[in-house]
Amino acid sequence: MIIREAGFGKAFVCRMEFESDFLASLEEFAKEHKIGAAFFVALGAVKKAAFAYYEQASKKYVEEVVDEPMELLSCVGNFATLEGNVVVHAHAVFSDRFGKLLGGHLLKGTTVFAGEALIFELSGVNLVRSYDDLTGLNLYTPTSIS
Task: Please tell me the predicted confidence (pLDDT) of residue 145.
Answer: 86
In this model, does residue 146 exceed pLDDT 70? Answer: no
Q: Is residue 2 part of a domain?
A: no
Q: Is residue 1 part of a domain?
A: no
Task: Please tell me the predicted confidence (pLDDT) of residue 2.
Answer: 87
Under 8 Å between Cβ of 21 and 111: yes
Q: Is residue 3 part of a domain?
A: no
* Cα separation, 118 vs 17, whole angstroms: 15
Q: What is the pTM of this model?
A: 0.93
Q: Return the H-helix or E-strand segment holding 31.
A: helix 22-32
Chain-centre distance of CA 35, in angstroms?
A: 14
Please write the tens of the pLDDT for every residue from 128-143.
999 999 999 999 998 8
Write the CATH number for 136.
3.30.1330.80
* Cα separation, 118 vs 129, whole angstroms: 22
User: What's the total number of domains in the chain?
Assistant: 1
Helix, strand, or coil (residue 67): coil
Lowest-confidence range among 11-25, 37-51, 74-88, 132-146?
Answer: 132-146
Torsions phi, psi for 69 (to 5 deg): -60, 135
Quick one: what percent of the chain has pLDDT higher than 70? 99
User: What is the domain extent for residue 73?
Assistant: 8-144
Please write the tens of the pLDDT for every residue from 12-39.
999 999 999 999 999 999 999 999 999 9
Q: Is residue 76 part of a domain?
A: yes
Under 8 Å between Cβ of 128 and 84: no
Q: Is residue 121 part of a domain?
A: yes
Provide the residue count of the chain: 146
Under 8 Å between Cβ of 51 and 64: yes
